[in-house]
Amino acid sequence: MNTIITEDIDLAATFLNKNAVIGFPTETVYGLAGNALEQDAVIKIFEAKNRPYFNPLIIHVKNINTISEFAHLDELSSKLAYAFMPGSLTLLLPKKQNVPDIVTAGSNKVAIRIPNHSSALALLHKIEYPLAAPSANVFGYVSPVSAKHVFDGLNGKIPLILNGGNCSVGVESTIVEVVNNTIIVHRVGGVTSEDIEEVIGHDGLIVTQKKSNQVQTAGQLKSHYATKTPLYQGNIAELWLMHNHKNVAIISFNNFYKEIEQINQFVLSPKGSLIEAAQNLFSTFRDLDNKGYDAILVEHFPNKGLGRAINDRIQRAQYINK
């Protein structure tokens, strides 16, 4: 199969209407999309990326009104929807019957989001069904943030990639679920806990993050976003002593380490912006993975705002999971 990269939204819709699966851009990461209501299309998604069937898919819809076609929207979830959609928030909601079991892996909850990307929204308005879409990486590898990244992993396995440029957020959506008026964060992501607290804080509601061993979502699998090159997060001075006999790369937030040669250092945001750092994270992982390093050493990012999602993805990419 030839894989074409195109900006033609009509063509992308034509392929989807034939139950093909395609790469498509969102503001977080690229997705691998198919008609969520057609089992044939959904099976192709799992097969193209080698994803286990027990791992459910997010469905992408065009607007907030459409959510209630597929799920029951409680008051607090609705408040979050109006605050953050379209955007990098995924709501886990009780599903309606029309959502196929294969999409939710048999769960009675469905994950729904509205991508905040003009091509994705234009595509969703062209078709008459929601799109089931995981990140468009081969299962276990780093998520793609450009059409080329999708091509690198899935060339020959899908007919088309809709090119929408580089993803502006760069880490996956935040997945939340409202349980007993409490907001549970299943996956930290593009919408920060601070953002959520700003919207719901005055109601005295709690935002809690689930411990990874309590959650069955795949964001939680060991080494889920792993580079092929062993990657370690920690104190760079200590890691450097352990690894300095090797050919190593260093990823840092906003500063070079003066005692280490600069050529192998990669600063994600010289101006110290966590937004910019998140945008650059996965492409830096992918670039360095192709450069023949023996190891990639990554410092801890500030544990606030988007820094939490950045640290989370670095930890998941680690060679040895602690």
Judged by CB, which is closer to ligand TXA: 76, or 249? 76
CB atoms within 10 A of CB 23: 29
Q: Which does 174 bind (CB under 5 to 8 A by kind): Mg ion, ligand TXA, none?
A: none
Nearest to ligand TXA of 239, 281 (CB atom): 281
Taking 3-state DSSP, the helix, strand and coil percentages for the chain, each rounded to the nearest 5, stand at 35, 20, 45
Annotate each residue in 154-193 with x if it binds ligand TXA (CB under 6 A) or - if it does not, as one string: ------------------xx-x------------------
Contacts (CB under 5 A) with Mg ion, residues 107-166: 135
Residue 313 contacts by C-beta under 8 Å, 6 or more apart in sequence?
171, 225, 281, 282
DSSP 102-138: HHHTT-SEEEEE----HHHHHHHHHSSS-EE--BSSP
Query: What distance in Å separates the CA atoms of residue 206 and residue 129, rounded to the nearest whole number?
Result: 34
Query: Residue 243, by phi and psi: left (phi above 0), alpha (psi -120 to 50) or beta?
Result: alpha
Pick 183 or 297: Cβ nearer ligand TXA:
183
- Nearer to Mg ion among residue 175 and residue 297 (C-beta): 175
| Cα gap 238→138, rounded to integer Å | 33
Nearer to Mg ion, 31 or 130 (CB): 31
In order of 36, 133, 223, 233, the CA distances from 312 in angstroms are 28, 21, 11, 11
Q: Which does 306 bind (CB under 5 to 8 A by kind): ligand TXA, Mg ion, none?
A: none
CB of 135 to Mg ion, least distance (A): 3
Contacts with ligand TXA, 284-313, as mask; x by CB under 6 A: ------------------------------
Residue closest to 42 by CA, chosen among 110, 119, 106, 101: 101
Closest to Mg ion by CB, 144 vs 164, is 144
Beta partners for residue 179, in sequence order: 182
Q: For ligand TXA, which stretch binds (CB under 6 A), given 145-153, 211-219, 271-279, 301-309?
A: 211-219
Non-local (6+) Cβ contacts of 216 within 8 A are: none
Q: Residue 154: enclosing H or E segment and its boundaries?
A: helix 147-154
- Give the one entry of ligand TXA, Mg ion, none that residue 133 binds, where binding means its C-beta sits below a cut-off of 5 to 8 angstroms depending on kind: ligand TXA
Q: Which stretch binds ligand TXA (CB under 6 A): 130-138, 231-239, 294-302, 311-319?
A: 130-138
Minimum CB separation of residue 174 from Mg ion in Å reads 13
Q: Which of residues 68-97 bind ligand TXA (CB under 6 A)?
A: 90, 92
Q: How many residues bind ligand TXA (CB under 6 A)?
A: 26
Q: Measured between alpha carbons, how far is 195 from 304 in angstroms, rounded to an integer?
A: 11
Out of 57, 73, 226, 277, point to the residue binding ligand TXA (CB under 6 A): 57
Q: Does 134 bind ligand TXA (CB under 6 A)?
A: yes
State both tokens at 88: 């990098």
Residues lying near Mg ion in the complex (CB under 5 A): 135
Site residues (vs ligand TXA, CB under 6 A): 26, 28-29, 31, 55-58, 90, 92, 104, 107, 109-111, 113, 115, 133-135, 172-173, 175, 217-219
